[in-house]
C-alpha cells in the first residue's frame, strides 16, 4: 500500500507540477543487451478509468488514494453483470457471467479521473463539421443497413480490428495484454486482442507512400532519452479510431517509470475530425501472465447468428405487414 | 470521513458513465430479449474457441424428447487466467442456463447465467480475485 501510494504521488506530483510526462524518479531504467531502455515483457492496460472525465468529476482531475479506492469499489460493483438487469435489452447486451470479463478493477496509477490529459477538462475536443458529417453518415448507413451482409457489421464483429487494440492501445473488456519485444532495429508489439503484431522500425526510413494504406497504419519509432516515441500514419479510411479519418497522425510515447510500470501516452492529431489534437495517458502494469492467441475467426458463430437474426426479423415484419 | 461522503455524492453520474461496454459482438443483435429461456440440461461438450466459447447441452422436455442447445459464453482467454480449463466443464455435467434464445428461433442461447442445479456458479471467479491479468492489489 505504501509503495503504491508513493508511486502514485511521484507520478501525480510530477504531472501536476507540469514537469512533463516522464516521472522524475531516482530509478535507473533497465537496459536491453544493446543498450536500449528495456520495455520488454507482458503488460496489461486493464483499468476502469474512463477515456473522458465524467461530468460530476469535472473539477477533479485526480483522485486521492482513498477516493480512488471508493471509486474502484463502486464501479466494480456497479459493472458486475452477475446482477441481472430489469431492462431486457440491457440484460441481453451484458452477454454472460462476470467471470468472462476482465475489465480491470483499478484506476490508472496516476490516479487521474480520465485517460484524456489534454484538453485539460479530460474531454474529447469538439468534432469538426466534416467529422460530424462523417459520423452522421455512418450512423445513417447503419440505421438503413444494420445487417444486410457481413460488411454492414463493425470491424470487431468481422474479426478485422478491435477499436482498442491499437494503435493507439486502449483498455478494453478483456484480453488487455501486450507483449513487447525489442531488437536493435525493431520493436514488436504483440496485442492479445485480435492478436496482431505491430512491427515498428527504429531507423530513419520514411513512411510508406501516401497511396499505401494499412489497417494498423505505418509506424516508425525512435528513442528520446528513455522514451520510445512511435509515429504512425497511413491508416485506411476504414480504420476509424473513434471516428478518425485516414489522415490520422498518431504519436505514442512509452516510458518505463519503474520495473512494473510503463507510462503510455498517445496524441491524436486529425484536423479533419477534431477541432484540436488530444492526448491520453494510461499506465501499463507488468503482468505475470502470458499472451494467449485470440483467433477470432476460429469460431465466429456470432456473425452467423446476427445475420440469421436480421433475416428472421425481416420475415417477421413482412408477415406482419401482409396480414 | 468528510471526503468519503463527498466522493460518494460526486460519483453518482460517474457510475452511470462506467456501464459495461459490449462484448466482441452485439448480443442484442443475436439474441432476443423477448425469448428468455431456462435450460436445465447435461453438457455434451464445451468448445474452447475464440472469439467466444460455446457449451453444448442436451435438454430433455416433459415428454422425454432430447434437444441439443448451443450456449454462447465469453472469450476463453479470460477463463484460462482464472484457472478454469478444459477439465472444468466436461460431458455429463448437469448445468442450468438462464439466458435468451437466438432471434432466428434456433436452439442457441447466450449463457447469461450459467449455474449448477444447486445455484452455484459454474464459472467462479470475479474481476478483482487476483487473476494474473488483473492489476496488482494495493
- Mean pLDDT score of chain A, rounded to an integer? 91
Subunit contact B18:A79, Cβ cutoff 8 A: yes
Express each pLDDT in A65-115 by its tens digit.
Answer: 999 999 999 999 988 888 899 899 889 988 889 889 999 999 999 999 999
Instruction: Quote the CA–CA distance of B94 and B71 in Å, as a whole number.
Output: 14
Out of A7-21, A73-87, A209-223, B112-126, pick the least confident. Answer: A7-21
- DSSP string covering B10-28, please? HHHHHHHHTPPPP-SS-HH
For an interface test with B, which of A6, A42, A97, A163 has the most B Cβ atoms less than 10 Å from its Cβ? A97
How far does B74 lie from chain A, in Å, by closest CA? 5
Do A231 and A250 form a contact (C-beta atoms < 8 A)? yes
- Chain A (213-242) residues lying within 8 Å, Cβ to Cβ, of chain B: none
Say yes or no: B69 contacts chain A, CB-CB below 8 A: no
Do A113 and A62 form a contact (C-beta atoms < 8 A)? yes
Subunit contact B77:A175, Cβ cutoff 8 A: yes
Tell me the backbone φ, ψ of residue A217, rounded to 5 degrees.
70, -165
Give me the pLDDT at residue B137, please: 36
Give me the pLDDT at residue B125, please: 53
- Does A21 or A304 have the greater pLDDT score? A304
Q: Which residues of chain A lie closer than 8 angstroms to B33, CB-CB?
A: 88-89, 91-92
Q: Which residues of chain B lie closer than 8 angstroms to A146, CB-CB?
A: 29
Cell numbers representing residue A251 in the block: 504519436
Subunit contact A285:B73, Cβ cutoff 8 A: no
CATH topology of domain B26-115: OB fold (Dihydrolipoamide Acetyltransferase, E2P) (2.40.50)
ipTM, two decimals, is 0.85
HEC string of A229-252 equals EEEEECECCCCCHHHCCCCCEEEE
Say yes or no: A175 contacts chain B, CB-CB below 8 A: yes
The pTM score is 0.87
Express each pLDDT in B5-40 by its tens digit.
Answer: 444 444 544 444 444 456 678 888 999 999 999 999
Domain ranges of chain B: 26-115
> Taking CA atoms, what residue in A is nearest to B7?
A67
Express each pLDDT in A277-314 by its tens digit.
Answer: 999 999 999 999 999 999 998 889 999 999 999 999 99
Amino acid at each position: 500500500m505504501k509503495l503504491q501510494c508513493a508511486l502514485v504521488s511521484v507520478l501525480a506530483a510530477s504531472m501536476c507540477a507540469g514537469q512533463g510526462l516522464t516521472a522524475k524518479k531516482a530509478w535507473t531504467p533497465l537496459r536491453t543487451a544493446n543498450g536500449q531502455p528495456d520495455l520488454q515483457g507482458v503488460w496489461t492496460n486493464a483499468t476502469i478509468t474512463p477515456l473522458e472525465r465524467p461530468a460530476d468529476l469535472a473539477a477533479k482531475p485526480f483522485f486521492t488514494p482513498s477516493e480512488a479506492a471508493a471509486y474502484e469499489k463502486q464501479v466494480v460493483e456497479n459493472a458486475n453483470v452477475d446482477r441481472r438487469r430489469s431492462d431486457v435489452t440491457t440484460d441481453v447486451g451484458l452477454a454472460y457471467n462476470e467471470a468472462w470479463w476482465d475489465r480491470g478493477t483499478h484506476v490508472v496509477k496516476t490516479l487521474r479521473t480520465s485517460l484524456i490529459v489534454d484538453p485539460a477538462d479530460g474531454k474529447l475536443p469538439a468534432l469538426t463539421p466534416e467529422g460530424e458529417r462523417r459520423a452522421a453518415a455512418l450512423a445513417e448507413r447503419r440505421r438503413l443497413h444494420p445487417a444486410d451482409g457481413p460488411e454492414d457489421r463493425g470491424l470487431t464483429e468481422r474479426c478485422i480490428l478491435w477499436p482498442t487494440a491499437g494503435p493507439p492501445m486502449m483498455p478494453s473488456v478483456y484480453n488487455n495484454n501486450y507483449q513487447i519485444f525489442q531488437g536493435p532495429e525493431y520493436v514488436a508489439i504483440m496485442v492479445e486482442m485480435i492478436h496482431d503484431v505491430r512491427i515498428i522500425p527504429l531507423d530513419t526510413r520514411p513512411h510508406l507512400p501516401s497511396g499505401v494504406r494499412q489497417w494498423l497504419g505505418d509506424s516508425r519509432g525512435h528513442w528520446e532519452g528513455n522514451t520510445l516515441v512511435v509515429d504512425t500514419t497511413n491508416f485506411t479510411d476504414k480504420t476509424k479510431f473513434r471516428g478518425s479519418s485516414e489522415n490520422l497522425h498518431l504519436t505514442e510515447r512509452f516510458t518505463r517509470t519503474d520495473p512494473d510500470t510503463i507510462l503510455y501516452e498517445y496524441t491524436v492529431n486529425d484536423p479533419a475530425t477534431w477541432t484540436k489534437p488530444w492526448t491520453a495517458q494510461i499506465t501499463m502494469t507488468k503482468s505475470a501472465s502470458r499472451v494467449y492467441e485470440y483467433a477470432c475467426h476460429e469460431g465466429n458463430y456470432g456473425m452467423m447468428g446476427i445475420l440469421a437474426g436480421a433475416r428472421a426479423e425481416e420475415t417477421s415484419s413482412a408477415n406482419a405487414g401482409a396480414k | 470521513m468528510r471526503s468519503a461522503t463527498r466522493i460518494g455524492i460526486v460519483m453518482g453520474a460517474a457510475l452511470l458513465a462506467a456501464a459495461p461496454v459490449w462484448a466482441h459482438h452485439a448480443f442484442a443483435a443475436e439474441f432476443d430479449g423477448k425469448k428468455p429461456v431456462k435450460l436445465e440440461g447435461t453438457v455434451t461438450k464445451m468448445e474452447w474457441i475464440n472469439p467466444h466459447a460455446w457449451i453444448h447441452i442436451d435438454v430433455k422436455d416433459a415428454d422425454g424428447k432430447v434437444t441439443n442447445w448451443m450456449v454462447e459464453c465469453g472469450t476463453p482467454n479470460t477463463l484460462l487466467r482464472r484457472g478454469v480449463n478444459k477439465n472444468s466443464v466436461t460431458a455429463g455435467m448437469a448445468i442450468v442456463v438462464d439466458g435468451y434464445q437466438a432471434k432466428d428461433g434456433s436452439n442457441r442461447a447466450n449463457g447469461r447465467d450459467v449455474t449448477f442445479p444447486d445455484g452455484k456458479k459454474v464459472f467462479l471467479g470475479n474481476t478483482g480475485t487476483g487473476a494474473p491479468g488483473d492489476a496488482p492489489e494495493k
